[in-house]
Amino acid sequence: MELPNLDKARKRTKNKVEEINYELNDLYKNIGKNKTFYVKTYGCQMNEHDSENIEGLLESIGFKKNNDMEEADIIILNTCSIRENAHNKAFGMLGRLKHLKEMRPNTIVALCGCMAQEEVVVSEILEKHKHVNFVFGTHNLYDLPRLIYENMHNVKTNICVKSVEGDLVEGLPVKRVSKFKAYVNIIYGCDKFCTYCIVPYTRGKQRSRKMEDILNEVNELKENGYQEVTLLGQNVNAYGKDLDLGYDLADLLEEVAKTNIPRVRFITSHPWDFTDRMIEVIKKYDNIMKYVHLPVQSGSDKILKLMGRRYTKDAYKTLFNKLKEIDGISITTDIIVGFPGETEEDFLDTLDIVKYCKYDGAFTFIYSPRVGTPAAKLFEKDETTLEEKEQRLYRLNELINSYSLESNKRMLNNEYQILVEGLSNKDGMMYGYTETNKLVNFKGNEDLIGKIVNIRIIDAKSFSLDGELVE
């Protein structure tokens, strides 16, 4: 049994990525017969989609989904490492599962996802959470049937985590949450190594799927009535760079648009890899949604440099302005406050870029040190107090929310198309998203779920809109 190792996971070679075609071993086919599973997912869309593969794998070996965790025969936690609070949530859940396992000792408890790739986490599990049956890493999803089988025959904690650059697995079964919108991976891993970020260690090197595999998946989704695909990657704009096949994200977007699936989205974009050709393709096709998530992280050149982001505030603004030329575009961002060494002046530069860009929305975070990343060492010498950082976050959010509201108000009385997703939390209301990814609540009936309808906006708030159906 080998523990995960961040030093090994940091290595990048020119070795060719191995492509694996998944096939289920007959030995495992019925091991889940008359048993049920419960998968709990933390973190980003990548994890959400991995859970769709995990559920697909579990069903392929006979398990059925159970919506009640307490009743399930196998419980899998698909975890996230991005910030400390994600860690805490997963460990909190492990505590709960300890009690559950005392009452139902035969329940299998497994942990996977990004936390499984961290040696500190796995050591803690081995020491303090002996009720966990096994841990499997982000590079080992396809090993799940084997691990369950082995566990049923030998009840030791089993660590199955590879600290490698990663391979590419095609043909994993998938049980999609939605019948009309789907995630499609286009590139795994990340080679940017922003100094605060754990992802390049937990997800391995940048590796793109072949365009033909992606197009086959999109075409199949379209034939099955899907209305929307979201092309997924930590940095989708780097798509194709590792393949040397002469195509990039601009080419891929164009080919996906040509399948005529009604809506094409893509996340997340890194400013460094955004080319003019990509912008032209987004402009050219009506079914490529006019929505870009463009993390800026900070507005201070000094902090951007310490973060290893590879662009300056001015370069970001130039790209932002080019994107703004796309008719009707909506742009959102991610911002970290309290990166080690961030002064009040640096923070004011961040407020400044927010004032300049007037984002449609933003995810904002307080810097959270991640063991093994370069910024964690800077954090040891950081003098800014948590209170100051919380104050900065508060000030930033006030500003962000005022611009979100402003951008939503500009939509008042206009008509937009939304893809209806389901019943909203509000009584008797339905909800869906505009092409620009804005949440709209409206009165309608359930027959509309999965359809694209016209809506007039009648009220605007910071985080959502109210609308009415236009016949």
Of 227 and 235, CB closest to ligand SF4: 235
Binding of ligand SF4 by 141 (CB under 6 A): no
User: Would you say 208 and 185 are in contact if contact means Cβ atoms under 8 Å apart?
Assistant: no
Strand 415-423 versus strand 429-434 pairing type: antiparallel
46, 190, 221, 264: which one binds ligand SF4 (CB under 6 A): 190
Q: How far is the CB of 92 from ligand SF4 (least distance, A)?
A: 25
Of 32 and 271, CB closest to ligand 5AD: 271
For residues 339 and 94, give the distance between their C-alpha atoms in angstroms, rounded to a whole number.
Answer: 30
192, 265, 370, 392: which one binds ligand SF4 (CB under 6 A): 192
Place of tokens 């339905």: 430
Q: Give the HSE-up count for residue 130: Cα atoms under 13 Å, Cβ half-sphere.
A: 4
Footprint of ligand 5AD on 145-164 (CB under 6 A) = none
204, 233, 240, 295: which one binds ligand 5AD (CB under 6 A): 295
41, 78, 297, 436: which one binds ligand 5AD (CB under 6 A): 297
Instruction: Find the residue with minimal CB distance to ligand 5AD.
Output: 334
Of 336 and 411, CB closest to ligand 5AD: 336
Answer with the entry of ligand 5AD, ligand SF4, none that 193 interacts with (C-beta below 5 to 8 A by kind): ligand SF4
Spell 323-351 as b/e; 16+ CB within 10 A means b.
beebeebbbbbebbbbbbbbeeebbebbb
Binding of ligand SF4 by 249 (CB under 6 A): no
For residues 100 and 79, give the distance between their C-alpha atoms in angstroms, rounded to a whole number.
Answer: 19
Question: One-letter amino acid identity for 180?
Answer: F
How many residues sit close enough to ligand 5AD to count as binding (CB under 6 A)?
12
Task: Please report, in angstroms and rounded to a whole number, the separation of the first and last CA atoms in the chain.
Answer: 62
Binding of ligand 5AD by 82 (CB under 6 A): yes
CB-based contacts of 447: which residues, under 8 Å, 6+ apart? Answer: none
Q: How far is the CB of 309 from ligand 5AD (least distance, A)?
A: 10
Of 180 and 320, CB closest to ligand SF4: 320
Answer with the entry of ligand SF4, ligand 5AD, none that 139 interacts with (C-beta below 5 to 8 A by kind): none
Residue 338 backbone class (left: φ over 0; alpha: ψ -120 to 50; beta: rest): left
